[in-house]
Amino acid sequence: MNNNRHIIKSIKPDSIAAEMGLECGDEVLTVNGKTIEDVFDYHYLTDDEYIELGVKKTDGEEWILEIDKEYDEDLGITFENGLMDEYRSCSNDCMFCFIDQMPSGMRDTLYFKDDDSRLSFLQGNYVTLTNMNDHDIDRIIQYHLAPINISFHTTNPALRCRMLHNRFAGDVLSKVKRLYDAGIEMNGQIVLCKNVNDKEELERSIRDLSAYLPHLRSISVVPVGLTRFRDGLCPLESFTKDDAKGVLNTIHKWQKKLYPVYGIHFIHASDEWYILAEEDLPGEDNYDGYLQYENGVGMLRLLETEVTEELRRRPGDARSRDISIATGALAAPFIKNYTMNINKKYPGIHVNVFSIVNNFFGKSITVSGLITGQDIKDQLKGRDLGNRLLIPCNMLRQGENVFLDDMTVEQLEEALDVSILVVDEPGRDFVRAVVDKDPVTTHRRRIMYEQTDSSDSGSAECR
């Protein structure tokens, strides 16, 4: 049990906490006489219709508050630490770790390696399970938290120990078996490294993991990302077109085998594989409801579907506008196609799509989420950008207009002398950003690379 103090950061107006006289700086000690380990204990214990809340006021006085409320009704408290516990750092030293491939001098939070199962439920992070003990598994089962996202990479125990550089990494399937037996929903990922866990090892991993269907709902296969900052790290190679075709052949073979039995495709290739192999993206039905969307599986297919649906609703007209879009090399050809479809309905709207080369991390990094403000500035300075420049929201830190290199959107606007609009992920928002004069955006994005406060992440499913 931890010894963290659960200090109140804010109180929602007109909430139960406000009515009970709680204030910022007060400390929650117990719920129903039980100490609180973390945010999951807090949510589980406060779900009842009657609770007794132990609180220590800022003047040192201790209160016991008796609260009658609706089941699941929130108390309206936000804590200084969103997890109500210390973040758990990664105990591995993975041969492909992206954080090890970043340059020095970036903000400190970008170097924090988390491997915290609680962030899997709150933010969708993938965890290796290597730092989870029986107590952690017991709590997931007790609270029936779901889904949990697991980084497998391989089911070969010796190979997994080598890839994660952790001698305890080989027993992952025993933990998965406990979760499976308890009916806990899971998703998985495999970061594929050439001549390491591909080919026969990939076949083995898919075969082993398919035994945990249907509770293990999906597995994504993504290619390792290799930046130019790999001096002194394990030598890894980039995949070729032929390699990508081989990976897709393996995945498609298993999809055809598993779908008739389970009604889902289970194993999925991220969009990069199809682009590298120069093969068409699968149809929408192939993605099983986009269970692996956040891992880049089906992102481009869903965007195309949503753009098409939004354009179908619109009659089109003669409005006129010149705008530009900056995106990563991976998505740029698809974005160009979408803008051509928009132009068919709105002939007066002209769009220039700029494929930004990732000079910061290296040209092999093609996703838009790792583009820096400096690269956009250097490559678009002096270009005719029209009335507005659009950028995808995943280029920015959550809740802030800050790129990975700490350049702000405002600084980039000043450097390029153009108004910048941050575009949300759905295709509807993309069309609105291109077509409408004053589109409304909310800038949603999921944290994938940076440690943050999870207090506004929502709660996992607790039953």
For residue 72, give the CATH number of its domain: 2.30.42.10
pLDDT of the residue at 352 = 97
Alpha helices (runs of H) in 264-328, residue ranges in sequence order: 271-277, 299-313
Rounded CA separation 8/130 (Å): 32
pLDDT of residue 124: 64
Q: How many domains does the chain have?
A: 3
Q: Are residues 150 and 275 in the same domain?
A: yes
Q: Are residues 339 and 386 in the same domain?
A: yes
Q: Which residues contact 175 (CB under 8 A, 6 or more apart)?
A: 129, 132, 137
Q: Which two tokens stand for residue 441?
A: 């955006």
Task: Kindly state whether residues 405 and 261 are assigned to the same domain.
Answer: no
Separation of CA 369 from chain center? 11
Q: What is the extent of the structural domain holding 199?
A: 99-297
Same domain for 152 and 106: yes
pLDDT cut 70: percent of the chain above it: 90
**Residue 119 above 70 pLDDT?**
no
Beta-sheet strand order (sheet of 216-223): 126-127, 148-151, 186-192, 216-223, 267-269
pLDDT at 121: 56
The first and second tokens of residue 175, run together, are 């933990």
For 96-117, the DSSP string reads T-SGGGSPTTS-GGGG--B--H
454 pLDDT above the threshold of 90: no
Cβ atoms of 265 and 286 closer than 8 Å: yes
C-alpha closest to that of 238 among 202, 195, 190, 295: 195
Q: Report helix, strand or coil for 188.
A: strand
As beta bridge partners, residue 401 has: none
- Inter-axis angle of helices 299-313 and 332-345, to 10 degrees? 10
Same domain, 375 and 334: yes
Cα–Cα distance for residue pair 77/69, rounded to 1 Å: 15
Measured between alpha carbons, how far is 329 from 340 in angstroms, rounded to an integer? Answer: 18
- Provide the mean pLDDT of the chain: 88
* pLDDT > 90 fraction of the chain, expressed in percent and rounded: 72
Chain position carrying tokens 């790129």? 403
Residue pair 402/420 in contact by the 8 Å Cβ criterion: no
For 252-310, the pLDDT digits (tens) are 999 999 999 999 999 999 999 999 999 999 999 999 999 999 889 999 999 999 999 99
Residues 264 and 345 in one domain: no
Q: Cα 224 vs. chain centroid, distance in angstroms?
A: 16
CATH number, domain of 390, equals: 3.40.50
Beta-carbon contacts of 440 under 8 Å, excluding residues fewer than 6 positions away, are 432
Distances from the Cα of 263 to the Cα of 217, 255, 281, 295, 339, angstroms: 11, 10, 20, 21, 35
441 located within any domain: no
Specify the higher pLDDT residue, 44 or 260.
260
Non-local CB neighbours of 428 within 8 Å, separated by 6+ positions: 306, 309, 310
Q: Is residue 440 part of a domain?
A: no
- Identity of residue 110: L
What's the rounded mean pLDDT across residues 132-140?
88
Q: Are residues 377 and 275 in the same domain?
A: no
Assess whether 232 and 381 both reside in one domain: no
Same domain flag for 261 and 340: no
